Amino acid sequence: MYYQGVKKAIVPRPLEKKRGQFGNIHPLLERIFLARGVSAADELDRTLAKLPSPWLLSGMEAMVGHLLLAINTGQKICIVADFDADGATSCAVAIKGLQLLGAGQVSFVVPNRFEYGYGLTPEIVELVKLQNPDVIITVDNGISSIDGVKVAKASGIKVLVTDHHLPGSELPAADAIVNPNLPDDPFPSGALAGVGVMFYVLMALRSRLREQNWFVEHQVQEPNLAQLLDYVALGTVADVVPLDQINRILVHQGLLRIRTGRAHPGIYALIDVAGKNPQSISTQDFGFVLGPRLNAAGRMDDMSLGIQCLLTDDPILAKQMALQLDELNNDRREIEGQMKHEAMALLSEMKALDKHHLPAGVCLYDAEWHQGVIGILAGRIKDRLHRPVIAFAPAGKGLIKGSARSIPGVHIRDVLSDIAAAHPKMLSKFGGHAMAAGLSLAMHDYPPFALAFDEIVRKRLVDVDLEQKILSDGELSEQEITVEFAELLQNAAIWGQSFPEPVFDGVFDVIQARIVGQRHLKLVLRKPGGALVIDAIAFFIDQPEQWLGLRQINAAYKLDINEFRGNRSVQLILQYLEKIV
């Protein structure tokens, strides 16, 4: 019996570094850092002074030059955003930041995914033109908007692209492009989210305004751009970009502002509606609590609601919009549950047709699936199968849209690029990252695409270990399963994508097990022969009743602090468990 029905191997996390220079820290904490490639205390510095210069980003000089002209001549600026949490926070950072730096006329347009699709398309340009802007700034999109940029330029609109997605073989003919993933870009990291890129643009713009004595001449106090870091932190974590040192700094500083009462009303409204304590908010809350509520606007309706929630300075209005976002997120959960059930039925049919194996790369389509939820669905099925998955939904006019999720070792955008090269007319458009991507194609091309996807993924899986594994940082003693040690872990670093929160493992006797909230399993555990009684919980278990009555389990877990009615106690958040016979 296995958590979620999938057997996994719990294996020690290997050390990426053999020795470290951390000074006087807990030995287990030192091993945790070495296993994540960190070997010195300096690499854990989370002060803003450790951020690299924004001028290292190629294209920054041109970008700032155009923005200076727009500010000094009172040009109208329109922000074109993406419809996810990164796009929404990028938009909020761009609008608030440019206004702080002297821009008088800043508006935004965010495409409705169901009408216009992703990016600065020619159709979106026509929508933008209704505002009669002088300048378009794209945030979290634009690097693949070849046609849209052409239309905007032909209409006399200047286009400034800020993006972090991987560029294709052709770049748009924009007036300036800032993207850390441009070929040979000297910036030391390609991991910035779209919101991080826009924040860096604002830092460069402020420094140039300072050099030109703009603030003194205009009798304006130079703004502290750190006030935007709550947005930056949320967007960075929600977009699941790698948390390298630069992103860990940005996220840490944003968390500090939220915890100390210096964040925006929209952020606090999202936290309040989710029932979380802002003083103890974490990256986990960004990724699994706040991010999904913000994303729900773009998935289910229109991301304008999410952006307005972030932008408003009125706490009452922010609360009203956060409640709407919460309702949309509940709707999303219901639809996702139904789609997951249907997807598992499709997988069962695949197995019945081919009893030997599933495809190496799995494509799933249903005519009733919701465009806004297919990305989540693909991720859920990918986690279940441990192989690349694309979920498709109808997009109208004979087209379908797909959302892809991959596993380490298979760069999903490169797979799509290979398919596009081999079948030039098959994909109408595609883009993304190593682990996630999106695409569109004609419905009649779905069967040959599914075959091509399986074929190319199969070639790339030759050297990939498909055994599902839980990487463990070891076993904790009873003396380490404490609130104090849990706090030490929480405060030691910013944990997240590519810098994972510590996971431990061990064998436990089950003293008590009960189902809470329909699909969660609440347990009381004890180490064999031990004295400490430990609370534990496993979330969203399929058929949780199967786990009742067990006597002993092997489990992988995270150490957590449960806060209830002012009391704080240690608990284990179970990531995986299996029955010991």
- Say which range, 9-23, 124-138, 161-175, 210-224, has the weakest mean pLDDT: 9-23
Q: What Cα–Cα distance (Å) separates residue 308 from each residue in 91, 305, 395, 502?
A: 10, 5, 27, 36
468 vs 485: CA distance, rounded Å: 29
Domain finish residue from 460, 495, 523: 460
Greater confidence (550 vs 556) lies with 556
Residue-wise pLDDT for 239-267, tens only, equals 989 999 999 999 999 999 999 999 999 99
Q: Which residue in 133, 258, 246, 238 sits closest to 200, CA to CA?
A: 246
How far apart are alpha carbons 51 and 495 in whole angstroms?
18
Residue 481 lies in a domain: yes
Domain that includes residue 435, residue range: 357-460
Residue 231 has pLDDT above 60, yes or no: yes
Helix, strand, or coil (residue 265): helix
Domain boundary among 308, 327, 346: 327
What pLDDT shows up at residue 355? 44
**pLDDT beyond 70 at 351:** no
pLDDT of residue 121: 92
Count of domains observed in the chain: 3
**Token representation of residue 39:** 């070997």
What's the CA gap between 98 and 115, in Å, rounded?
Answer: 29
Q: Which range among 121-125, 205-209, 395-399, 407-411 has the greatest average pLDDT?
A: 205-209
Give the domain CATH number at 370: 3.10.310.30
- Rounded CA gap, 121 and 142, in Å? 9
Question: CATH code at 77?
Answer: 3.90.1640.30
Q: 180 and 146: one domain? A: yes
Q: Assess whether 363 and 492 both reside in one domain.
A: no
Q: How far is CA 208 from CA 60, 66, 178, 203, 362, in A?
A: 11, 12, 16, 9, 50
HEC string of 67-122 equals: HHHHHHCCCEEEEEECCCHHHHHHHHHHHHHHHHCCCCEEEEECCCCCCCCCCCCH
Q: Are 370 and 350 in contact (CB under 8 A)?
A: no
* Res. 455 pLDDT band, cuts 50 70 90: very high
In the structure, what pLDDT confidence band is assigned to residue 358 with cuts at 50, 70 and 90? confident
pLDDT at 16 over 90: no
Condensed to tens digits (0 to 9), the pLDDT of residues 171-213 reads 999 999 999 999 999 999 999 999 999 999 999 999 999 999 9
Both 68 and 204 in one domain: the answer is: yes
Model confidence at 451, pLDDT cuts 50, 70, 90, reads very high
- Given a cut of 80, whether residue 1 has pLDDT beyond it is no
Q: Which of 136-150, 176-190, 427-441 has the lowest mean pLDDT?
A: 427-441
Q: Is residue 169 over pLDDT 90?
A: no
Is residue 28 domain-resident?
yes
Average pLDDT over residues 413-423: 93
> Is the pLDDT at 365 greater than 90, yes or no?
yes
Does the residue 538 lie in any domain?
yes
297 and 196 share a domain? Answer: yes
Is 352 a residue whose pLDDT tops 60? no
Please tell me whether residues 453 and 479 are part of one structural domain.
no
Band (pLDDT 50/70/90 cuts) for residue 4 is low
Residues above pLDDT 90, as percent of the chain: 78
